[in-house]
Amino acid sequence: MSKRLLQLAVAVCCLVPIAAGGAGLVLGPALVGDAGDGRDLDSHFRYLSGLLLGIGLGYAASIPGIERKRVQFTLLSMIVVIGGVGRLLSLFAIGVPSPVMLGALAMELLVTPLLTVWQWRVARRAGGRFLS
């Protein structure tokens, strides 16, 4: 019963970040509306920066025993690539961003997938088990 309730709670609650993330990809900063004095935009920026920090720490945690971290590595990479798709949408919708943002886009849509394929090859050569 506890497992089923948890599954139901997660199924309902995951709709919030899915909807907000999808809306953010489509709407960009308009998601937070008129930021007025900038508090909402600042709050959202810092939240997303925290997620980015968490992603980086997740990759760092995959370094020891990297050959056994296929699922963890792939999940982190999917998150980064989906974020890169959002950045690419912005490029098409608003225009070419600064060189720093273009560098981030290259990391998200080129370097990350290449590292992921490399990790898969290392994991496959190590054989067998794929943990977290």
Biggest CA–CA distance in the chain, Å, is 55
Q: Taking the mean position of all CA atoms in its chain, how far away is CA 92? A: 20
Per-residue pLDDT of the chain (132 residues; tens, 9 = 90+): 898 898 888 889 888 889 988 988 888 888 777 665 678 888 888 999 999 999 999 999 999 999 999 999 999 999 999 999 999 999 999 999 999 999 999 999 999 999 999 999 999 999 855 554
Write the burial class of residue 14 (CB in 10 Å: 0-12 exposed, 13-18 middle, 19+ buried): exposed
CA–CA dist 56, 54 (Å, integer) = 5
Write the burial class of residue 73 (CB in 10 Å: 0-12 exposed, 13-18 middle, 19+ buried): buried
| Contact predicate 70/119, CB 8 Å | yes
What are phi and psi for residue 69, nearest 5 degrees?
A: -110, 35
